[in-house]
Amino acid sequence: MKKILLALMLALPLVAGAHGGEQRVVDGTYIVSMSRAPFTPRMGVPTKLLISISDIASGNVSDKDAIINLRVARLASPGDEPQFIFEEKNIKAERSTLGYSYTFREVGFHEIYIDFAFVDSPTKVMSASDYLLDVQPAQEAGGDKSFALWGFGGLFLGAIFTKIVLARKGEI
């Protein structure tokens, strides 16, 4: 039990900042979630997108298959007119969930647009408002020390917390 507790405490800081995402309400009925890893996209590095469509009433991801149209636009700055640089149509999302990988070719602000329809009613196309991303330059190898700092910080805090817990139980 002690080893499991220690492993969880050490791993938590490393996992907590690994990815993130946003949600949009569509037609007051659905929530379109788009999470990404890494959370901050880097130019030239594949960004993994996970798109899911949930039913607000049930709170669950829809079990219906969907067709998704995905577009990416480049912006000079937020609020500017989008310049579309990528589009893929008719992507099948089984059970309203789609994993997708996209590699950004430029640094700066980008918007991702998601339009979808369920397979059982393909003429009713719904749109989630855009998702704004700030793509950063590619990192040089070893250029980001924050991962190591999080790791060492997690180890340090995990060791202290474990020692406190074990001391209270009288096992130290």
Q: Which two tokens mark 95?
A: 């059970």
Query: What's the pLDDT score for residue 5?
Result: 41
For residues 72 and 88, what is the distance between their CA atoms, to the nearest angstrom?
A: 9
Over the stretch 69-90, which tens digit does the pLDDT of each residue have?
999 999 987 778 889 999 999 9
pLDDT at 159: 59
Domains of the chain, first to last: 19-139 (2.60.40.1930)
The pTM of the full predicted model, rounded to 2 decimals, is: 0.69
Which amino acid appears at position 168 of this protein?
Answer: R
Whether pLDDT at 25 is above 60: yes
Name the β-bridge partners of 46.
103
User: pLDDT value at position 21?
Assistant: 80
The CA distance from 129 to 112, in Å, is 9
The pLDDT value recorded for residue 151 is: 62
